[in-house]
Structure 1
């Protein structure tokens, strides 16, 4: 997708019609009753405004008759009617605001959910692309307001047209030449407003990167996880200066952008004002020559003022439709693009067969924008009931290989196989339910302890008792965190975050164990643990791996680690370096081979034996 937004090759009339149709259908789908109420209120407000002009003419005429006729019943009723119409207009305006707000929130929810559906289902590779992030950021902001603004602009156009017809009919009855003059005055504003809308959209697209950076720097300075390092390294001044520099750059661009818009708006308003002034001068000349009566002149002036306001409203509504339509095009383009990705993906209708092993075979993978492969011809297999380890130094490709085996990344070349079936032929949801994955950078959800463990069906059982369900507790016991969770203020129902009241938090090691419990809870055939012991002490790490077979109850596991001593009991160990598998075998076989594994194992073990270490050391 283009960084500058969607292309717009359709003729303006057809495009506006399509925008209105799409947005109206969207708003209608969110709440037909509120949509009808919005239209009804808009028409009622417009009719009340038109009637006010006619009643003003009656009031003026009867006021001028006061010296002869006195205060008549007709005058009283005309004044009462004018007051009622004005009050009705105010009440309708308040009701419109309430309905508009509620309907806007419903539309925002609907569109945000659509964007969330895309963000949670697109291939994980997309999140490695800055272009995807920029587009996602832009449409995420547009989704909350722009679709409804198109329809709201349409409501404004409808209302102002109805009002203009009523007021215009009154003016035509008085002086037919007034209406064409006022209509001509709206043309310059209409033309310049379209140009303003295009400038606004281009400015937003151009500032997406700056806005993302500002949001990130602001987030870093206000987020709890970063707070300790900001203080420890005393970087608050640097971050604040960076934020200010980014904002200064944005403000300078904003000043130039607003100046361009101001010039266009001024040009349109001046030309429109010239036409209006000419119209009023002609009317003044007619009054001075006695060709127009005072009452008719007063009504005409009120009508001109009201109609001028309606024309401005009409132009504003058209501008709102056009400007918001540009963002809506961008949003719809984003949704359609990823819908096409799903539609063109291989047909994945088969359920995953019983587990007979999983493997990646001759797999190569490159991250978007990278110049070298993260994986090159990598083959790793996990058989039924096996505990397989992948080891290597940082940056060797271990985590990337685990993500491909988990089905989170599609390989560029090679195959990921579930038994004898390629992953691409299986239903995604079914395949994912058969694999449990815990990564080193697992998410600490600000939910209850029970919900953090039972992510698969966290919402299925809203009534969780204080001690937690048996299946959740069993997973916590297997990971060695049951005692810590049971001692929380509300047991397993305790919210794990300092961001909310009546909550608590865990230590780094306890969170690590809870994440492992998350994997154990899922009744998956294959469990992938990527550096699951990074926050554990050596004894806890040894205990975890030693009990892994018992905890898994015959299920298979892939254990990713950079600590070689931990995985020596694995059925098979793959050694990775620079995105390749360079060795594989059991611990004894690899030590006897005296390759990279033996070198790194001796190097790590040497830290515990300052006087020297060899593989024969007891």
Structure 2
């Protein structure tokens, strides 16, 4: 190779990397309202709207009864003012258009015009008052609906989460909860249009009975256009919901500091950007592609409505020319028609919005009601004391939609003062066993009892007061260091107990070094917050369980993120407090099992071995194999 060729190769730009494939198309398949929206008619819309209005009223009354009554009164007053103003204008039209002299006309029309102006001003004040009341109600209504959703998820039995359709029904209900933020404004627009329409109709009916049906015909095309646009909106919503969900989820992954190291260290930026941009483009293309359909719908509706408006004004002219209507009445009719056109359009547009609200609010109310049914105590028995013994008698648990049990049948007795280690491969049933022991779930068949009281017949919340639980997915709660230990349950020994729990997990010095000690907010994402390391977070999770001083302490992989010193501190703490409680440790570290008085080996939901560490090693079964595998790593 010549020197020039070598130089050319050095200076040539590197070849562009191949374009990665686009992410797969995501589909949202549930969409239980698809058929309803596809068959939407004005009649269906009218029948659904009252339920949305009732729901709006219930929420508003729960937030602020006074503000709700002010809003309703202001809206009614606004309608009365509209009717009174039109009536006054009608009276002013007669002398203005048929009087003899200018002065006489103005004099005769003065008081009616003053009344019309006063009614218009009062109506404006009523509108401002209703708007102010709505602004006081709207945030509270949104919060009330949101709190109901949060409480429904926190209170519902864990078994509900296992149902295959729980997540989809929850997402549909979340949409209904989110709609509550728009509910009052749309209801205000709808009822305002309805009241104004009733007021104008009463005036038009007096002027001439033929004008009202003609005017109604002029708004029907726009109504049908709004209904069709609502169908398009819902179809577009369903076409993009899966992509929008994955977009929001991916955005969190790309912007959270928790994954920033992995994103950079693995050179993920080019592909992550391509992936995110492709999903965004997919959503945008759907939105842009729908624009011609919306334009067509609204053009047709506006054209048809215009034809009917021209016909209405033609009929008005014909009535005047034919001598069937006085010129003064025609002037009143023109003013009333302009007011009623706006009211009818408002009525139809907000009616379509209220129809959609009714659909989603139905999801919301059904979900909250169903969650409430699954949130009460399982039985009347209250677990006053921590358990001395926990027994499982042929207990099984089968997840909804599954044919075979995830656990069981299992028969087992745990006694106070024991340290029990539970081991097994992934999917062996360890997490399910924890749920049954702690009364987080009741067995599908068989019995789990605390001191002879079946957990399926007792108030599970009273049992949880005696439980300390450290799960694999422990929470990084954005609380202060103190509250991360106490969880809002300080206990009789106050701050001393907090420091004792921190000592038990070797975190005293670390917390003392935090910017504000126990009062340090543990959330770097919040201004002034501090972020502990992964191992420190796990120590805090263990510390909060120790602080509870529970009768049943269950720890699932409690030291997986800790260094040897932290692990030693935690297990030393377990040994020191074992006599006052039943202690269960789930672990993949076989060496930790030496602490246990008894080891339970699970395989495919069954207990295959149990005994002491040395005993099971000599048995040379599956536990001995797990020990050898852990030593070979």
Question: Could you state the TM-score of these two structures normalised by the residue count of structure 1?
Answer: 0.85
Deviation at 1:576, TM superposition (A): 2.9
Q: Is the Cα contact below 8 Å between 1:352 and 1:427 reproduced in 2?
A: no
2:523 equivalent in structure 1: 497
1:306 equivalent in structure 2: 339
Where in structure 2 are the equivalents of 1:579-598 lying within 5 Å?
579-598=605-624
**CA deviation digits over 1:114-167, x for unaligned, max 9?**
211211122224435563222212322321334872x65554444334323332
**CA deviation digits over 1:365-385, x for unaligned, max 9?**
455566865434344542111
Q: Is the Cα contact below 8 Å between 1:3 and 1:135 reproduced in 2?
A: no
**CA deviation digits over 1:277-314, x for unaligned, max 9?**
10112223455678766554333222111111112222
1:610 equivalent in structure 2: none
Q: Is 2:571 the partner of 1:571?
A: no
Q: Is 2:365 the partner of 1:339?
A: no
Instruction: Report the secondary structure of 2:609's partner residue.
Output: strand
Deviation at 1:592, TM superposition (A): 1.5
1:322 equivalent in structure 2: 355
**CA deviation digits over 1:567-589, x for unaligned, max 9?**
20210011234443322111111
Choose 255-264 or 552-561, whichever is displaced more. 255-264
Q: Is the Cα contact below 8 Å between 1:137 and 1:212 reproduced in 2?
A: no
Instruction: Report the secondary structure of 1:408's partner residue.
Output: coil
Q: Is the Cα contact below 8 Å between 1:357 and 1:384 reproduced in 2?
A: yes
Q: Is 2:135 the partner of 1:135?
A: no
Which of 393, 397, 418 is residue 386 of structure 1 equivalent to?
A: 418
1:110 equivalent in structure 2: 144
Deviation at 1:392, TM superposition (A): 3.1
Q: Is the Cα contact below 8 Å between 1:50 and 1:164 reproduced in 2?
A: no
2:205 equivalent in structure 1: 172
Q: 1:171 to 1:16 in 2, by over 3 A?
A: closer
Q: Is the Cα contact below 8 Å between 2:394 and 2:445 reproduced in 1?
A: yes
Deviation at 1:268, TM superposition (A): 4.5
1:535 equivalent in structure 2: 561
1:216 equivalent in structure 2: 249
2:388 equivalent in structure 1: 356
Deviation at 1:526, TM superposition (A): 0.4
Count residues with an aligned counterpart.
Answer: 598
Where in structure 2 are the equivalents of 1:83-482 lying within 5 Å?
83-128=117-162, 131-146=165-180, 149=183, 153-190=186-223, 193-194=226-227, 196-197=229-230, 200-201=233-234, 204=237, 207-254=240-287, 266-286=299-319, 295-342=328-375, 346-351=378-383, 354-367=386-399, 374-455=406-487, 457=489, 469-482=495-508
Identify unmatched segments of 5+ residues in structure 1. Answer: 608-618
Q: Is the Cα contact below 8 Å between 2:443 and 2:456 reproduced in 1?
A: no
Q: 1:146 to 1:425 in 2, by over 3 A?
A: same
Q: Is the Cα contact below 8 Å between 2:502 and 2:508 reproduced in 1?
A: yes
Deviation at 1:425, TM superposition (A): 1.1
Q: Is 2:103 the partner of 1:69?
A: yes
Query: How many angstroms apart in 2 are the aligned matches of 1:500 and 1:55?
Result: 60
Identify unmatched segments of 5+ residues in structure 2. Answer: 1-28
Deviation at 1:191, TM superposition (A): 5.0
Q: Is the Cα contact below 8 Å between 2:93 and 2:109 reproduced in 1?
A: no
Deviation at 1:60, TM superposition (A): 5.9
Q: Is the Cα contact below 8 Å between 1:198 and 1:323 reproduced in 2?
A: no
Query: How many angstroms apart in 2 are the aligned matches of 1:80 and 1:424?
Result: 75
Deviation at 1:507, TM superposition (A): 1.6
Q: Is the Cα contact below 8 Å between 2:86 and 2:116 reproduced in 1?
A: no
Instruction: Report the secondary structure of 1:498's partner residue.
Output: coil
Query: How many angstroms apart in 1 are the aligned matches of 2:161 and 2:174?
Result: 15
Instruction: Report the secondary structure of 1:118's partner residue.
Output: helix
Q: 1:423 to 1:210 in 2, by over 3 A?
A: farther
Q: 1:245 to 1:407 in 2, by over 3 A?
A: farther
Choose 477-486 or 597-606, whichever is displaced more. 597-606
Deviation at 1:362, TM superposition (A): 3.8
Query: How many angstroms apart in 1 are the aligned matches of 2:50 and 2:381?
Result: 39
Q: 1:324 to 1:80 in 2, by over 3 A?
A: same
Q: 1:421 to 1:205 in 2, by over 3 A?
A: farther
Instruction: Report the secondary structure of 1:503's partner residue.
Output: coil
Instruction: Report the secondary structure of 2:525's partner residue.
Output: coil
Deviation at 1:394, TM superposition (A): 4.2
Q: 1:95 to 1:599 in 2, by over 3 A?
A: same
**CA deviation digits over 1:417-453, x for unaligned, max 9?**
2232221111011011111111122001111011111
Q: 1:596 to 1:524 in 2, by over 3 A?
A: same
2:584 equivalent in structure 1: 558
Choose 276-285 or 304-313, whichever is displaced more. 276-285
Choose 130-139 or 82-91, whichever is displaced more. 82-91
Q: Is the Cα contact below 8 Å between 1:388 and 1:570 reproduced in 2?
A: yes
**CA deviation digits over 1:55-75, x for unaligned, max 9?**
545666666669732895666
Deviation at 1:557, TM superposition (A): 0.7
Deviation at 1:481, TM superposition (A): 1.2
Deviation at 1:319, TM superposition (A): 2.3
Deviation at 1:3, TM superposition (A): 3.7
1:615 equivalent in structure 2: none
Which of 573, 580, 597 is residue 547 of structure 1 equivalent to?
A: 573
Q: Is the Cα contact below 8 Å between 1:186 and 1:312 reproduced in 2?
A: yes
Q: Is the Cα contact below 8 Å between 1:146 and 1:327 reproduced in 2?
A: no
Q: Is 2:548 the partner of 1:510?
A: no
Query: How many angstroms apart in 2 are the aligned matches of 1:224 and 1:558?
Result: 34
